[in-house]
Each structure stands twice: as C-alpha cells, then as structure tokens.
Amino acid sequence: MAKLVGVLNTGHVWIHRPIEEWEAVRRSRRLRDDVPLEDMSEKQAKYDRVSAAVEILKSKLAEMRPDALIVYGDDQSENFANTFVNIPSIAVYVGETFAGRRYNGAKGEAHQVVPNNTALATSILTSLLGSGFDPAFCMGLPNPERGIGHAIMNPLGYFTDYTIPTVPILLNALFAPQVTGKRAHELGKAVRHAIEAYPEDLRVVAIGSGGLWHTTSHGYDTYLNEEFDRAGLKLLADGNLASWARHFDDYHVPDGDMSQFIGERRDDMTGMPTLGGPQFGTRETLNWIAASSMADGCPFTVVDYVPIYSSPIGSTYAYCDAVS
C-alpha cells in the first residue's frame, strides 16, 4: 500500500535572487510608506537564512526517500488564466510526463521533462471524483510552449534532479472566485485517503509551493502582514490545519487596502468577488494548507520565516517528517 511519509512546504520565489538585485525590485513596487528598508547586511543575512532553509528541506526530502511526489501549485497564466476562457478550481495532471522551464534556466533553453506517476495520478483523480470533488484533469498542457508553471518546476529544481515521478495538483489560488482554505483542507485529506487506498507500495511526499503573504506588483501600497502569517504558522506547527484554514478564510481585506483590490477586470484579475481571505499571491498559502492537510493533526517544524521587505514577501519553509 502507498504511504505518505512526509510533507514539505516552500516558497518558490526569492530563493537565490542576488541581493544586488533587491533594491531594483523594491523600486518597481508601490510599497506602503511603513515598509522597512533593509541595508546590505540585513539583505545578506536574509539571503543566507533562505539558502540554509532550502538546504534543510532538501536534506529532509532525501531522508524521506520518496518514490513519488505530489506538488500543489497554482497556475499563473502559464496554461489556464491568460484569457480567462477556462480556469479549473482544481486540476490533476495525469499525463505520462510534463515539461517546464528549469529553475534558473536560461531563456530559450529547452524545457525540462519530468516523469509523472500516471497510475497514481489517475487513482487520485478517480478517488476525488468518488468523494464529492469535481476536479478537472489534464493529459497534456493547454500551452505546452510555455510549459507547466514555476509553482511546480521551482520546488523540483530546489530539491530534486527532476527524476522523481511527480503528480501536479493545480489550484486556482489567484483568480477570483478562488478555492477557499476550507476546501484546500478538505482536498488534502481526500488526497491522503486516495494515497492510502492505492495498492502499490510507494513512499509519497507532498509539497506545498508558494506563499506566504505577498501582494507584490498587483496593487498600490503593498506591505507584509507578518502577524497574519505568524498566526497561521503557529497553527501549522500544532498540526491544526482546520483552524489555519478558518484563519485564512476569515481574513477581511480592510476598507481602502488597494494592495488587495480585485474589483476591476484586467489581464491579471477577473473583477469578480472572492469568498473571503487575502488576495493575490498570499493565496498561494492554500497550496500549503492542501499539502499540509494530508498530515492533518501532525506537528510541523517551521524552519524559518524570512520577511523580505524588498518584495515584500514572507519567505517561509516548513516540513513534517513524522506523519501518523
């Protein structure tokens, strides 16, 4: 029987960005006046902390010895959202392979091909359909020239050599109306059930990709809500995923907060309402909630929470290696 042996949660940007580039990024944002300004020594210290956290997760994955990975990530117009013609709330990739840009790959470089475990992916898909979910499925990518997005490819580049069979599960985290924290929690538990019902002897590790708080270039007066992130991470550390999902969904965007304004139709937003919770990149937290809910009730180790004000983003890394 297949078995979940661990969960990794990781940011998927700002991992190895040279500190000499941070100021240019900050100048490209429209930050709130009270966002702190980091000096070079602070930037270096944060860069070193992020690098150390990534290495810890990489070593943990090696210790877990997975036969297959499940990566929860969001499509950022790589395949679904660029025209808003069809955006699945949940999609399971069941093709034999997928391909995308290597982490830190050169522009124009041939895409990296990654194997899928098609039998496992199909079993997850059909199990979800039998448990009240209605996921879409992909046997190929709608936009193969672009390839699968960085939410999937970057964690594989951080922690693997791209040879471990990987099942991508894509959540619509960004484009309102999105998946909720409650639904992400339910999804993770349902995928855990599917794994445990799978007859082949496999060691499976789940990865949640993205987050935590960041609104970046979408709006005005962007900032980093460290209090919101740290409250959620406390619940993660306790293994209390239902409460983390509620904490996420119960967040109300303050009146006048233009960093999270979604009320107009643009190339990067639908103009439709949300069901609650923070907006834009912060919603990648849902990928963490889904992956972590596969180990619901088990404590997590939060390796580090690195507030990078030049973005601004809560660059965060966590794992569970004692799944029960």
List the 68-74 sheet strands across, edge first: 136-138, 90-93, 166-171, 68-74, 203-209, 3-10, 313-320, 301-308
Could you give the CA distance from residue 205 to residue 70 in angstroms, rounded to a whole number?
A: 6
Q: Encoding tokens for residue 251? A: 């967040």
Comparing CA positions, the residue from 303, 312, 314 lying closest to residue 32 is 312
Q: What is the pLDDT of residue 108?
A: 78
Phi, psi angle pair for 190, to nearest 5° = -70, -35
Cα 8 from chain centre:
10
The model's pTM is 0.97
Q: Encoding tokens for residue 203? A: 């060691």
Residue 173, domain CATH: 3.40.830.10
Phi, psi angle pair for 81, to nearest 5° = -95, -5
Is the torsion defined by CA of 159, 14, 220, 146 positive or negative?
negative
Q: What is the pLDDT of residue 215?
A: 83
Q: At what angle do helices 150-159 and 40-64 cross, to 10 degrees?
A: 80
- CA-angle at 294, arms to 114 and 164, nearest 5°: 20
Contact 277, 283 (CB under 8 A): yes
Q: What is the pLDDT of residue 218?
A: 61
Q: Where are the beta strands (DSSP E) in 20-173?
A: 68-74, 90-93, 97-100, 112-115, 136-138, 166-171
Q: How many domains does the chain have?
A: 1
- Local confidence pLDDT in tens for the 324 residues of the chain: 899 999 999 999 988 899 999 999 999 888 999 999 999 999 999 999 999 999 999 999 999 999 999 999 999 888 986 678 889 999 999 999 999 999 988 777 889 999 999 999 999 999 999 999 999 999 999 899 999 999 999 999 999 999 999 999 999 999 999 999 999 999 999 999 999 999 999 999 999 999 899 986 666 899 999 999 999 999 999 999 999 999 999 999 999 898 998 888 887 889 999 999 999 999 999 999 999 999 999 999 999 999 999 999 999 999 999 998
Q: What is the pLDDT of residue 228?
A: 98
Q: Please enumerate in sequence order all residues whose Cβ is within 8 A of that of 279, keeping only pairs 6 or more positions apart, or say none.
A: 176, 215, 218, 253, 260, 261, 262
Q: What is the pLDDT of residue 217?
A: 61
Q: Where are the beta strands (DSSP E) in the chain?
A: 3-10, 68-74, 90-93, 97-100, 112-115, 136-138, 166-171, 203-209, 301-308, 313-320
Phi, psi angle pair for 184, to nearest 5° = -65, -40
Domain that holds residue 25: 3-320
Could you give the CA distance from residue 180 to residue 5 in angstroms, rounded to a whole number?
A: 26
